[in-house]
Amino acid sequence: MRRVAWKWLGAGTARLTVLLTLSTLGVGSACAPQLSEYQLGVAALEQGDDELAETHFAAALDDEIDGSRARQQLDEIWMARARELEKESPERAADEYRRLLIRDPAAHHARMRLGSLLETRGDVDGAIYVLTQGPPCVQCKAQAAELQARRGRDKMRAGDFVSAYEDMRPAAENDRDPWIQLDAAQCFTAGGAGTAEEALAHLKTAYKELRGNAKLNTRWASLRRDFVHAASARQKWQAARDALAFEDPRAELDAATRAAETWTLTLDFAEAEQAAGNVDDGLAVGKDLWRTMQRSGLPVPAALRARVAMLYLGKLASLSNAGQNAAALVLAKEASDTHPD
């Protein structure tokens, strides 16, 4: 092995001594390579001259062999510089992060640091914008989702549910947090924002993430009730039916109370269908519910039994008005046989 000393005089008075260990290529022959821009940049880093290193790494960006390594080194230099500036000069730090992102949009750590810096300075809108630009980044999306949910909730408190959902929808797409999912669903139930299908999807996602949390369970049950009513009001019958299929998650309720609340909500849905002219569908729901009530072995409140009977009466009135007296008599006998009221 032959040890060769190279001396290079840089900008100003900077002087670097680079010691290279070179392999002998043949008997009596010596290798005397020319340093690449990347190698000069590494040498400058070792001497603590980041500015000079930056110059060489920038010159190596287009090199087929060293380009990617030079880009990584530049990213690290600029990131370190920006982090040092965050406390003493946040504006300059932000400029450094922006400079890095212009050159390398995939510098996700810089994007996240810039987002945090803007949030700290109160520029939540700017932070969300930065975090949602550039190539896909799971961490950036998660960070943006937290800020979008916060901004969306502010809009919800102001009663602007349509605008709120513009934030809550992407937040819910990128964060399965059940509170975010329920807030997104509430934009539909309280303000009609989004679609019934989207709100149902938020409820489904939240249901999977409840994990026995009593507060979450209570809120989910309340929103499910609101959703069934809102979907029914918009005649989104299938979405309402799908929501009714979930078991009430509130473990703190006794079986009779939980069943009675589920039956009540189901009757709300059936009555809405009949009121909308879907008399047969409403009665079918009532019949299924009555069978469920009988099989449950639980006490059925008289008020609920009466509401089931009213569904029969609704169909009987429809048949009578249509002059279908024979069919009305058959239904009346069925009601008498299966329903004691």
Looking at the DSSP bridge assignments, the partners of residue 308 are none
Q: Indicate the DSSP class of residue 253.
A: S
- Counting residues of the chain whose pLDDT is more than 90, the rounded percentage is 60
For residue 110, how many C-alpha atoms fall within 13 Å in the half-sphere facing its CB? 28
Looking at residue 25, what is its pLDDT?
Answer: 32
3-state secondary structure (DSSP) of residue 298: coil
Apex 114 CA angle, 109 and 119, nearest 5: 130
85: left (phi over 0), alpha (psi -120 to 50) or beta: alpha
**Residue ranges with strand state E in 39-104:** none
- Mean pLDDT to the nearest integer, 293-311: 93
Q: Any idea which residue has 């949910």 for tokens?
A: 149
Determine the pLDDT at residue 24.
35
User: What is the DSSP secondary-structure string of 119-145?
Assistant: HHTT-HHHHHHHHTSSS--HHHHHHHH
Among positive and negative, which fits the CA dihedral 9, 10, 14, 18?
negative
Rounded CA gap, 17 and 121, in Å? 44
Lowest-pLDDT range, 39-53, 197-211, 239-253? 39-53
Chain centre to alpha carbon of residue 305? 42
What is the predicted pLDDT for the residue at 33? 63
Confidence category of residue 337, pLDDT binned at 50, 70, 90 = low
User: How far apart (Å, rounded) are the C-alpha atoms in residues 288 and 6?
Assistant: 90
CA 147 – CA 192 distance, rounded (Å): 23
Give the pTM: 0.77
